[in-house]
């Protein structure tokens, strides 16, 4: 295990390039299992969640070749439709294999997935949707077994626009005998990326990015070459890091439109952010409190950026209110931020952040992926040295974090524990 040491109080300067999106690449990799073919994914981030997904593909019998940021999957040799428990527990997105395996094999056996501890994270919406498509689903404790003679098309209405459930429906739809329509579908850009990939595989898809997606499964499947889009949450994290540390930074490889709620919020707190094409130029001297923030499904403020934003505002003059509406236990990072001197009051899913004059470095342990990022952000703006442990959480979603921090002039280093 490693420790990330950060000596705070230095403004960030320079340029950082955002990697491919974790939340896009994982479903894209799962999609390669939905039909035997050859797939090439470019701009894949080097993350432990990607390693875990590749491990699942290999377990299923796929051949996977990795070279720098390219992952090639040959899923033609795949024979297995079962994923062992320990592989499922390594990440939440493993549940997306359910739809892909059903489409390909007509059956799937796996376990309730792992991932960050940020709420109860049920999969009832996934399972009831798959039942509506004709799958028989049985649950024995944490084991989930799905089987079907044939998957049928149909119109499904989600009671909540769940990203994972929408992705599972689209993947299962690739093996359906008719069109599948999802009403109240998730509108997240990562769902649109999956739709683009499935279209390249041969499906007819319309409506991605809106609340209604219609998929007509392919008559003929095609091999696919696809570029993973940039990670909007990583981009948001760099903006929050700048807000905490101060300075001037150029963030490359972003889709500014997808970041609108984060950019609007940080601008409301006094940060200067200009976008030019796929690049953001941002500068921050002093911050005041931001307009109240409420997380929600896209295009609302992303729940994944809630913890980084909270860390960014710890020294802002005045009081900011944040409400988390997606996950019920997503304030696990608050105690660590308090250890650095933050003044945060939490009541249920609401938090009040009162700006303090200064933060001090502390020894903290990452609680989850984005909570860990929040600790890094706070450490950059704190006086003195912070040591951050439990870095496996952060490694799930940030590629070469320490190297990128150093590239921006931060005093950061990785040591053995
Ligand atoms: C969530 C985020 C997504 C982010 C991903 C990774 C939202 C809406 N989704 O996706 O943007 O990229 O985490 O961090 O912000 N729920 C159910 N039953 C289900 C599935 C979900 O009740 O079967 C509820 C959960 O309890 C929770 C919410 O829906 O309140 C989670 O939304 P969902 O989009 O499904 O979560 P993820 O797919 O993990």
Check pLDDT > 80 for residue 258.
yes
Residues with a known catalytic role: 116
Handedness of CA 127, 230, 234, 325 (dihedral sign): negative
* Upstream peptide bond of 93 is cis (omega within 30 degrees of 0): no
**Who lines ligand 1 at CB under 6 A?**
23, 92, 119-126, 160, 162-165, 186, 188, 297, 302-304, 326-327
What would the two tokens of residue 412 be?
Answer: 């950061």
Q: What is the pLDDT of residue 115?
A: 60
Q: Could you tell me the pLDDT band of residue 215, with boundaries at 50, 70 and 90?
A: very high
Three-class secondary structure of residue 296 per DSSP: coil
Q: Average pLDDT for residues 297-316, to the nearest whole number?
A: 98
157: number of Cβ within 10 Å: 12
More confident residue, 401 or 120: 401
Instruction: Please name the residue whose Cα sits nearest to atom 33 of ligand 1.
Output: 162
Q: Could you tell me the pLDDT band of residue 92, with boundaries at 50, 70 and 90?
A: confident
Q: Of ligand 1's atoms, which has the minimum distance to the CA of residue 119?
A: 26
Q: How far is the CA of 166 from the centre of ligand 1 (A)?
A: 10
Q: What is the pLDDT of residue 178?
A: 97
Q: Of ligand 1's atoms, which has the minimum distance to the CA of residue 127?
A: 23
Q: Average pLDDT for residues 317-333, to the nearest whole number?
A: 95
Three-class secondary structure of residue 233 per DSSP: helix
Check pLDDT > 80 for residue 396.
yes
Query: Cα(228)–Cα(19) distance, rounded to whole angstroms?
Result: 9
Q: How far is the CA of 278 from the centre of ligand 1 (A)?
A: 27
Query: Cα(118)–Cα(310) distance, rounded to whole angstroms?
Result: 16
Q: How far is the CA of 296 from the centre of ligand 1 (A)?
A: 10
Q: How far is the CA of 396 from the centre of ligand 1 (A)?
A: 17
What tens digit of pLDDT does each residue of 97-149 get?
Answer: 999 999 999 999 998 876 656 666 789 999 999 999 999 999 988 899 999 98
Q: Could you tell me the pLDDT band of residue 163, with boundaries at 50, 70 and 90?
A: very high
Q: Of ligand 1's atoms, which has the minimum distance to the CA of residue 369?
A: 14
Q: Pairing between strand 38-42 and 2-7?
A: unpaired
Query: Cα(210)–Cα(311) distance, rounded to whole angstroms?
Result: 31
Q: Could you tell me the pLDDT band of residue 416, with boundaries at 50, 70 and 90?
A: confident
Residue whose token pair is 């660590």: 336
């Amino acid at each position: 295990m490693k420790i990330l040491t950060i000596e705070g109080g230095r403004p960030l300067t320079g340029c950082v390039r955002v990697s491919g999106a974790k939340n896009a690449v994982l479903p894209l990799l799962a999609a390669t299992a939905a039909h035997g073919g050859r797939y090439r994914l470019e701009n894949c981030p080097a993350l432990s969640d990607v390693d875990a997904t590749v491990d699942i593909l290999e377990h299923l019998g796929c051949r996977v070749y990795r070279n720098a940021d390219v992952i090639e999957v040959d899923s033609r040799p795949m024979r297995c439709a079962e994923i062992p428990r320990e592989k499922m527990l390594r990440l939440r997105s493993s549940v997306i294999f359910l739809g892909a395996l059903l489409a390909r094999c007509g059956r799937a056996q796996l376990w309730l997935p792992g991932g960050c501890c940020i709420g109860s994270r049920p999969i009832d919406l996934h399972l009831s949707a798959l039942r509506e498509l004709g799958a028989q689903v049985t649950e024995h404790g944490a084991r989930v077994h799905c089987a079907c003679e044939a998957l049928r098309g149909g119109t499904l209405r989600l009671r909540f626009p769940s990203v994972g459930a929408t992705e599972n429906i689209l993947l299962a739809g690739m093996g359906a005998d008719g069109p599948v329509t999802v009403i109240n579908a998730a509108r997240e850009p990562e769902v649109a990326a999956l739709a683009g990939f499935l279209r390249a595989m041969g499906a007819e898809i319309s409506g991605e990015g809106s609340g209604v997606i219609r998929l007509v499964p392919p008559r003929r499947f095609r091999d696919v070459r696809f570029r993973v889009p940039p990670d909007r949450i990583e981009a948001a994290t760099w903006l929050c890091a700048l807000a905490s540390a101060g300075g001037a930074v150029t963030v490359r490889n972003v889709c500014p439109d997808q970041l609108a709620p984060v950019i609007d919020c940080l601008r409301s707190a006094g940060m200067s952010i200009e976008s030019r094409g796929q690049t953001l130029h941002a500068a921050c001297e002093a911050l005041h409190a931001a307009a109240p923030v409420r997380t929600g499904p896209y295009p609302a403020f992303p729940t994944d950026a809630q913890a980084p934003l909270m860390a960014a505002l710890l020294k802002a003059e005045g009081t900011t209110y944040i409400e988390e509406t997606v996950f019920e236990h997503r304030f696990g990072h608050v105690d660590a931020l308090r250890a650095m001197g933050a003044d945060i009051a939490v009541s249920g899913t609401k938090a009040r952040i009162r700006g303090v004059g200064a933060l001090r470095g502390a020894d903290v342990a990452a609680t989850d992926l984005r909570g860990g990022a929040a600790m890094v952000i706070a450490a950059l703006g704190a006086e003195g040295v912070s040591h951050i442990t439990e870095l496996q959480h952060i490694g799930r979603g940030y590629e070469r974090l320490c190297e990128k921090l150093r590239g921006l002039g931060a005093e950061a280093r990785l040591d053995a524990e």
